[in-house]
Amino acid sequence: MSADPTATGTRPLGALVERLAAEGRLRGTRAGGRPVPTGDVASIAVTGVTHDSRAVRPGMLFVAVPGLRVDGHDYVPAAIEAGAAGVIVERPIPGVAAPQVVVVAARPALGSAAAWWFGDPYFKATGFELINLPALRPTDKLTPPRPGTAEHKAWSRVHRMPPGAERARMRSETFPGIAGALAQQWGEAALARLRRAA
């Protein structure tokens, strides 16, 4: 999940920090290698979000996600070297002076950061015919807004679309979070099947 290359502009890191705090995901913030109040990192301009250190461009926020084989925390120095404006981590990284947003778990924080950067999420029912594929496990579930609120209506925009030329295309769009879950989970299942057959 990387920033949309067509997106322009920046967003202040403080808005994401507030969101993570409201969601109960934030543990603290650091800068200059020490804990600092969240306000000290609030004005940092972010140009995008990624969890792939190879995709970091100057000003982007790198999310260090621990994986099955590699730990994103090991790539924090490379992300900083590539120009990351800051990092989201599950544990403070010693010797890193760049801003660190310390969270309870990086994977759900990545979902929040992507929603913050790309635009807030939407409710969408997506159906798949699972032929010889395992059922998907829920991942990075976001807490829905209270029904009847403006935010709830915005999330429901896919279901509220009036007829029009773009309706079918927009209603059939697969969001990056769903695509990532499909690739990871079904990819892992395929690899396990190949190992058993070997």
pLDDT given at position 49:
92
Burial of 89 (0-12, 13-18, 19+ CB in 10 A): buried
Domains, the chain, ranges and CATH? 11-118 (3.40.1390.10), 120-198 (no CATH)
Mean pLDDT of 32-57: 94
Q: What is the pLDDT of residues 140-168, one digit of tens each?
A: 667 777 877 887 777 777 666 777 777 77
Single pTM value for the model: 0.61
pLDDT given at position 123:
56
Position 124 confidence tier, pLDDT thresholds 50, 70, 90: low
- Is residue 79 within 8 A of residue 87, CB to CB? The reply is yes
Position 14 confidence tier, pLDDT thresholds 50, 70, 90: very high
What angle in degrees, to the nearest 10, is found between the helix axes of 106-118 and 176-197? 140
Phi-psi region of 121 (alpha: psi -120 to 50; beta: other; left: phi over 0): beta
Burial of 67 (0-12, 13-18, 19+ CB in 10 A): exposed
pLDDT given at position 6:
33
Mean pLDDT of 13-32: 94
Length of the chain equals 198
